[in-house]
Every structure is written in structure tokens, then in C-alpha cells.
């Protein structure tokens, strides 16, 4: 009689504990699923929203999410932390902390102020606990507006005396995978074979794809079309024959196809970014991701998204922008004032003056 050993060999490359704030949001749930399947995660802690236990529709949801995830047959342990009073326990020993709270993950610029007001208070509470319990953890800000929430998080960490610019990053990888996909469509290639940096900020006019750095031959008008598509994601936009994005007069006329609900693609993008961070934490070398970080790359703003090389302490070094075409320089110059305004809004919120509009 022949016996077959059908047991899977457990992966040996796990690197640590990951905490997800906002695990019950549309992005947080999918991201938690992907992290549960990720062999680099030893323990996944799902944290609920900043509400009192016994109040609100989300009560019990984080426990349900964690219980459902725990049935998946991987080695990653899952724990739920519904009460904010338990967040301190969740953060103990964390290697990576992901902030995914809020409801608008890809808002148009007119809605950024509302998104900041929604996510800001919870971010401040979470960062205060990170400073106290896990000051050496890498922090990835996923919630919008990233350009404002990263400076806000910095101020909280500075007040608590634990700010390390290497460990605070805004996750801009959604813009990167969108650009990769759109360029691949133009060239009829596999997106996996492309690497297109996106610099500046997260989303909208602040996202500046550097398509020329693929070194592939793409007509200039198609590059403009790709960049417009990337910058218009999340807004009520359509495209004319020239490839230029135009605002729709009637928001109700904007179809679901033109305004996809950002959840699945963002969760995938954050997973890719998280895997890169975890690999770097275990000692892998040469890992590069685009991220929104404290930077001296532009004198107009203390934060800027660019390619960063990751290391065991977070950001190992900032990589230069490289050669830009005239069009790409124009994109960056247009983006910088908006980035500076977003950063200032985050700093004002941290100072207790949230009335400052983005």
C-alpha cells in the first residue's frame, strides 16, 4: 500500500507581527485577508474603530473579521482588538503598523478636508500609543489624505520624543500599480515586467508618474494620457479624444466604471509595499519602494514621495529623482504647491486648528 504525504511544508520566512488599524474598513478587511495569507507575517492584530464598546454599528465586526480569518489554514495567528483600551496590547512587539481607518481612500481634492477630519483623531490616538508601546515599529499610513496624515503623525511622534524619519512612511503604491497597469496597456506588455516610479505625493495632481524612466518608447501624447488617468482616479472625470481628463458637470452621471470604489486594488498595493518592508526588516538588500517620507528633495515642502531604499530600520536612503523630461518637470512643479498645502493642513490639525482647509 502506498501512502501519500499531502501536508504542506510550513514556510520558514516569517518576519514578524503586523498591526492593522481600521481592519473593518473596506480596505482593512481585504488587506487583513491578504496579510493572513502572507508567509512573512507571524501574527496579525486587527484593531477596530475608535468608538466606545457598546456603541455604533461596528461593534463586534472586528471580532467577526478576525474569527473568519482565523479559519484560513496558514501559520499566521490572528487576534482581534475591538476596544481602543486594548490597542496597547495589540502593539506590543509589532514590527509593522498599518493605518487604514476612514471611509474615503481615494477622494477628490474637494473632499480631502473631510477625510482629514474623519481620520485625523484616530490617527493621533494610534500614534500616541505607537510612541508609547512600539516606538521602533515601521508605520505605514494608508488612509487618505496621506499627504496630510503623515505630517500629522510626525507631530504626534515628535511630541512623544520618539520620531524617527526612517520609520514613518506614507503608502503611495496604489499610484505605482495604476501607472504600471496603464503603461502596460499602452505597450501591450505584462505589468509585472514594468517598473515606473511615481513621485510627489499620494493621489490626484500630486501623483507624478515618471514614465520616461521605463526607457521604453511611448508616444508623448500617450504618456500624457497615462498621467491624466493616474491623476484622475478618484475624481469625477472622463476622458476626451485628446486623452485629457475633464470634470463631469453632473456627478450623478459619473458611472461606477469611471469611479471605482477603491478597496481591492489599494489592499493589493499595500500588501506589496508591506512585503517589501518585511523583507527589508529581515535583512534583504536592494529593496526599493515609492513612499511619502520626510525629505529635503524639495525646499518648498518637508515631505515628498520618491523612491526609497528600505533597510532593517525602515528607510535606508532616498534615491534621486533622476533625469526628468520637460513634461515630468512640469508635473512635479505643479504638484509641489498642493503637497505643501496638504502638509500644512496636517500640521495645523496637529496644532489643534483643524479649521484650515486643504
Which of 261, 240, 236 is closest to 251 using CA atoms?
A: 236
* 26 annotated among ligand-binding-site residues: yes
Q: How many whole angstroms separate alpha carbon 184 and alpha carbon 194?
A: 7
pLDDT-derived band at 102 (thresholds 50, 70, 90) equals confident
pLDDT tens figures, 107-159? 677 778 888 999 999 999 999 999 999 999 999 999 999 999 999 999 999 99
Q: SS3 breakdown of the chain: % helix, strand, coil, rounded to 5?
A: 40, 20, 40
Mean pLDDT of 159-172: 98
* 181 annotated among ligand-binding-site residues: no
Where do the structural domains in the chain lie, given as residue ranges?
16-171
Q: Does residue 337 surpass a pLDDT of 60?
A: yes
Percent of the chain with pLDDT over 90: 74
* 23 annotated among ligand-binding-site residues: yes
Annotation: CATH topology of 16-171: Rossmann fold (3.40.50)
* 25 annotated among ligand-binding-site residues: yes
Q: What is the CA radius of gyration of the chain?
A: 20
Mean pLDDT of 311-336: 97
> In the structure grid, which three cell numbers stand for residue 175, read together?
499610484
Kindly report the backbone phi and psi dihedral angles of residue 46, in degrees, each rounded to the nearest multiple of 5, phi listed first: -100, 120
Q: How many whole angstroms separate alpha carbon 79 and alpha carbon 81?
A: 7
* 48 annotated among ligand-binding-site residues: no
The structure's pTM equals: 0.88
* 200 annotated among ligand-binding-site residues: no
Distance of CA 114 to the CA centre of its chain: 18
* 24 annotated among ligand-binding-site residues: yes
Whether the CB-CB separation of 39 and 4 falls below 8 Å is answered with no
Whether the CB-CB separation of 35 and 20 falls below 8 Å is answered with yes
Range picked from 50-64, 113-127, 309-323 for highest mean pLDDT: 309-323
Amino acid at each position: 500500500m502506498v501512502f501519500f504525504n499531502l501536508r504542506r511544508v510550513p514556510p520558514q520566512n516569517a518576519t514578524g507581527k503586523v498591526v492593522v488599524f481600521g481592519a473593518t474598513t473596506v480596505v482593512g478587511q481585504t488587506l487583513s485577508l491578504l496579510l493572513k495569507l502572507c508567509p512573512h507575517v507571524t501574527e496579525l492584530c486587527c484593531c477596530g474603530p475608535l468608538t466606545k464598546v457598546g456603541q455604533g454599528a461596528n461593534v463586534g465586526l472586528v471580532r467577526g473579521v478576525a474569527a473568519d480569518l482565523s479559519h484560513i489554514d496558514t501559520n499566521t495567528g490572528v487576534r482581534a482588538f475591538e476596544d481602543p483600551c486594548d490597542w496597547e496590547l495589540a502593539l506590543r512587539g509589532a514590527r509593522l503598523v498599518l493605518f487604514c481607518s476612514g471611509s474615503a481612500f481615494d477622494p477628490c481634492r474637494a473632499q480631502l478636508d473631510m477625510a482629514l477630519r474623519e481620520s485625523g483623531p484616530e490617527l493621533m490616538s494610534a500614534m500616541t500609543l505607537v510612541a508609547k508601546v512600539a516606538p521602533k515599529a515601521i508605520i505605514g499610513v494608508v488612509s487618505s489624505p496621506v499627504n496630510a496624515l503623515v505630517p500629522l503623525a510626525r507631530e504626534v511622534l515628535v511630541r512623544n520624543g520618539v520620531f524617527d524619519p526612517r520609520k514613518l512612511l506614507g503608502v503611495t503604491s496604489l499610484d505605482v500599480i495604476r501607472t504600471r497597469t496603464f503603461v502596460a496597456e499602452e505597450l501591450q506588455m505584462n505589468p509585472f515586467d514594468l517598473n515606473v516610479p511615481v513621485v510627489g505625493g499620494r493621489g490626484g495632481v500630486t501623483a507624478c508618474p515618471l514614465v520616461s524612466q521605463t526607457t521604453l518608447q511611448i508616444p508623448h501624447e500617450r504618456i500624457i494620457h497615462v498621467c491624466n488617468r493616474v491623476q484622475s482616479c478618484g475624481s469625477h472625470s472622463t476622458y476626451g479624444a485628446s486623452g485629457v481628463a475633464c470634470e463631469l458637470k453632473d456627478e450623478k452621471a459619473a458611472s461606477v466604471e469611471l469611479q471605482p470604489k477603491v478597496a481591492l486594488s489599494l489592499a493589493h498595493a499595500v500588501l506589496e509595499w508591506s512585503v517589501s518592508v518585511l523583507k527589508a526588516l529581515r535583512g534583504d538588500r536592494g529593496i526599493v519602494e515609492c513612499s511619502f517620507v520626510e525629505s529635503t528633495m524639495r525646499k518648498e515642502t518637508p515631505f515628498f514621495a520618491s523612491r526609497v531604499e528600505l533597510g532593517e530600520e525602515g528607510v535606508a536612503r532616498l534615491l534621486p529623482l533622476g533625469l526628468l523630461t520637460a513634461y515630468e518637470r512640469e508635473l512635479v512643479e505643479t504638484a509641489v504647491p498642493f503637497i505643501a498645502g496638504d502638509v500644512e493642513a496636517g500640521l495645523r490639525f496637529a496644532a489643534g486648528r483643524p479649521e484650515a482647509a486643504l
